[in-house]
Amino acid sequence: MPAVCRKARLEDVEPLYQMIQGYAEKGIMLPRSRAVLEKQIGEFVVAEAEGKVIGCGSLCQLGNDLVEIRSLGISEGYKGQGIGSMLVDSLLEEAKRREIPKVMALTYEVSFFMKNGFAVVEKEIFPEKVWTDCIHCKKQHACDEIAVLKVLN
pLDDT band at residue 137 using 50, 70 and 90 as cut-offs: low
pLDDT given at position 120: 95
Domains of the chain: 4-151 (3.40.630.30)
SS3 43: helix
139 pLDDT higher than 70 = no
pLDDT band at residue 125 using 50, 70 and 90 as cut-offs: confident
Residue by residue, DSSP assigns 98-132 as: TT--EEEEEES-HHHHHHTT-EEE-GGG-HHHHHH
Q: What is the rounded distance in angstroms from the CA atom of residue 48 to the CA atom of residue 98?
A: 24
Higher pLDDT pick, 88 / 138? 88
CB 37 within 8 A of CB 13: yes
Q: What is the pLDDT of residues 53-95, one digit of tens each?
A: 999 999 998 888 999 999 999 999 999 999 999 999 999 999 9
Helix residue ranges, H only, the chain: 13-25, 34-40, 83-97, 110-115, 127-132
126 pLDDT higher than 90 = no
SS3 93: helix
Q: What is the rounded distance in angstroms from the CA atom of residue 116 to the CA atom of residue 104?
A: 12
Whole-structure pTM value = 0.89
Is the sign of the CA dihedral 17, 44, 104, 64 positive or negative?
negative
Torsion on CA atoms 83, 145, 103, 90, rounded to nearest 10: 10
